[in-house]
Amino acid sequence: MTQKPSIPKGTRDFGAEEMARRNYIFSTIRSVFSLYGYQQIETPAMENLSTLLGKYGDEGDKLLFKILNSGDFMQGITEENLRQESSNRLATRLSEKGLRYDLTVPFARFVVQHREELTLPFRRYQIQPVWRADRPQKGRYREFYQCDADVVGSDSLLNEVELVQIIDTVFSKLGIRVCVKLNNRKILAGIAQLIGESDKMVDITVAIDKLDKIGLDGVNAELRQAGLSEKAVLKLQPIISLSGSNEEKLATMRQALTGIETGLKGLEEVTFVMQTLKPLCLKNPLELDLTLARGLNYYTGCIFEVKALDAQIGSISGGGRYDNLTGIFGLEGLSGVGISFGADRIYDVLNQLNLYPTELATATRLLFVNFGSREAAYCLPVIAKAREAGISCELYPDSSKMKKQMQYANAKRIPYVAIVGETEMQAGSLTLRDMQTGEQRLLSPEQLIDALL
């Protein structure tokens, strides 16, 4: 026998039930984006490699899926190329295209390419899969969906305010309790300046970003390894460990950063965001977290991250302000800010907490049992009318044994079954069976449709 077919590691098939759940997540997020005036765009799965390379660091370049050129892809490649070049270099000779690695870079490319058609500020959302040649592991896939909302062409902090509202609304609608963490890259830059290590800003953010994972001692070890002076590490301690209310943290930091302009600007920005949000009564807490750094280097202002309160999982949403993302494609001076929802992690959280609405489970509401060709012919016009009324229904296509047809209804969790035999045909009626209660009623076609509306 042929070997059972399989799919590439790190990828997934989604069956009917999983799709219903995923669609629930996507449509919830989409509806919120839309409420806030964000418009959907889509970009191709394949981008030119020149668009993607160099945007995600060396590691990212390696993780790009590259498409082998069509036709005679070896043409023009010399023996020397083959013998002497690194895999990475050679790959760019064999491939001109790669699969999308995230939605942010394609979005920046889109804005630059279509700038003449766009009205700024441009609020777009995008829900599409991305691909990364990462080592697959639990919760990490090679194909996964991102759900991004960004505004470009506006410096206003009201955009940050709205993005926090969007996060709050999405998770309220999904029933997931979260904590929204807020920080600002300018505060981090101010802190680096304060401790006299401005040139080590990246090392510092990378290290303190890991506080949750490796603890304070771990962070300090990393800071020392990065070459921070003992004095600087010492000076950083009270800041990393800062606790208290948002207001208390802000007051302490305002003191600490006195005279450091960038840092104070960052504090002012988060203060504005938090004060503007206050009268809007978010359903989830907003926390100033000075250790929040976020890995991506293009962030320049406010940054956000969302943690689920009732599930052990990494961040399920995050984002921030980037002042010059389109600069990499030659369009300077366009500021943007955005957030991204991790659909796969949200899916895991909803599963863990069993938060899906119950009516998701099935699509078909009514199955017509098939006792033979005469009975089927009798049912077909009724089925057509039921569908016209918007009721999802099926006729079992074969006149199989009753038991088999009922098993089918149960397996698909179809809540109602219509049964038509000689008696029903003579009476011009149908028997409607409620699969939950077992109750059966003899109804006219019109009554049957009314009963299910």
**Does the footprint of a second copy cover residue 161 (CB under 8 A)?**
yes
**Residue 322 Cβ, how far from a second copy at the closest point, in Å?**
16
3-state secondary structure (DSSP) of residue 403:
helix
- Both tokens of 316, joined, read 């399920």
Residues from 213 through 272 that contact a second copy (CB under 8 A): none
Q: Considering the complex, state which of residue 114 and residue 231 has its C-beta at the smaller distance from a second copy.
A: 114
In the set 19, 214, 309, 427, which binds a second copy (CB under 8 A)? 19
Q: Considering the complex, state which of residue 252 and residue 364 has its C-beta at the smaller distance from a second copy.
A: 364
Q: CA-CA distances (angstroms) from residue 156 to 229, 290, 337, 347?
A: 38, 22, 10, 32
In the set 28, 29, 66, 356, which binds a second copy (CB under 8 A)? 66
**Residue 425 Cβ, how far from a second copy at the closest point, in Å?**
15
DSSP 8-state assignment for residue 286: E
In the set 407, 423, 440, 444, which binds a second copy (CB under 8 A)? 407
Q: How far apart are CA 124 and CA 114, in angstroms?
A: 13
Mark residues 320-339: x for contact with a second copy by CB under 8 A, - for none. ---------xx---------
In the set 398, 422, 434, 446, which binds a second copy (CB under 8 A)? 398
- Interface region with a second copy, contact rule CB under 8 A, candidates 42-50, 253-261, 291-299, 339-347: 42-50
Sign of CA dihedral 89, 93, 94, 98: positive
Q: How far apart are CA 250 and CA 186, in angstroms?
A: 14
- Both tokens of 322, joined, read 């980037």
Q: Strands 286-288 and 178-184, how do they pair?
A: parallel
| Residue 61, CA atoms < 13 Å, CB-side half-sphere | 15
**Total number of residues that touch a second copy (CB under 8 A):** 108
121 preceded by cis ω (within 30°)?
A: yes
Q: Cβ of 254: how many Cβ atoms within 10 Å? A: 14
Which of 338, 331, 299, 295 is closest to 315 using CA atoms?
295
What's the maximum distance between 2 C-alpha atoms anywhere in the chain? 95
Q: How far apart are CA 34 and CA 31, in angstroms?
A: 5
**Residue 170 Cβ, how far from a second copy at the closest point, in Å?**
12
**Residue 386 Cβ, how far from a second copy at the closest point, in Å?**
9
**Does the footprint of a second copy cover residue 24 (CB under 8 A)?**
no
- Interface region with a second copy, contact rule CB under 8 A, candidates 9-17, 196-204, 251-259, 340-348: 9-17
Return the residue matching tokens 């309160």: 309
**Which H helix or E strand runs over 222?**
helix 211-225
Residues from 89 through 118 that contact a second copy (CB under 8 A): 90-91, 94-97, 99, 109-110, 112-114, 117
Q: Considering the complex, state which of residue 124 and residue 294 has its C-beta at the smaller distance from a second copy.
A: 124
In the set 58, 137, 217, 411, which binds a second copy (CB under 8 A)? 411
Residues from 176 through 195 that contact a second copy (CB under 8 A): none
In the set 26, 60, 62, 240, which binds a second copy (CB under 8 A)? 62
**Residue 228 Cβ, how far from a second copy at the closest point, in Å?**
35
**Does the footprint of a second copy cover residue 360 (CB under 8 A)?**
no
In the set 15, 259, 333, 438, which binds a second copy (CB under 8 A)? 15
**Does the footprint of a second copy cover residue 53 (CB under 8 A)?**
no
Q: Considering the complex, state which of residue 1 and residue 453 has its C-beta at the smaller distance from a second copy.
A: 1
3-state secondary structure (DSSP) of residue 308:
strand
* Dihedral, CA of residue 172, residue 176, residue 177 and residue 181, to nearest 10: -90
